[in-house]
Amino acid sequence: MAGRSPRRRAPQPELFPASMNDPPMAAPRDGPFTLAPRFPDGLIYAPDFLTPGEERALLAAIASLPLAESRYRQYTAKRRTVSYGSSYDFATNVLSPAPPVAEFLLPLRARVAAWVGIPATAFVHALVTEYSPGTQLGWHRDVPSFGTVVGVSLAGGARMRFRRWPHVTGGKRVDGFVLDLAPRSAYVLQREIRWRWQHAISPTKALRYSITFRTSASHAPA
Average pLDDT per run of 10 along the chain, which is 222 residues long?
42 28 32 56 95 98 92 67 80 72 97 96 96 93 93 97 82 82 97 94 97 88 60
pLDDT of residue 166: 80
pLDDT of residue 198: 94
CA 182 – CA 90 distance, rounded (Å): 29
Residue ranges of domains in the chain: 34-216
Homologous superfamily (CATH) of 34-216 is Alpha-ketoglutarate-dependent dioxygenase AlkB-like (2.60.120.590)
CA 115 – CA 199 distance, rounded (Å): 22
DSSP string, 1-46: -TTPPPP-PPPGGGGS-TTTTS--S----BTTB---SSPPTTEEEE
pTM value? 0.79
CA distances from 145 to 27, 124, 197, 215 (A): 33, 11, 16, 9
Check if the beta carbon of residue 216 is closer than 8 Å to that of residue 124. Answer: yes
Find, among 159, 145, 182, the residue nearest to 46 by Cα.
Answer: 182
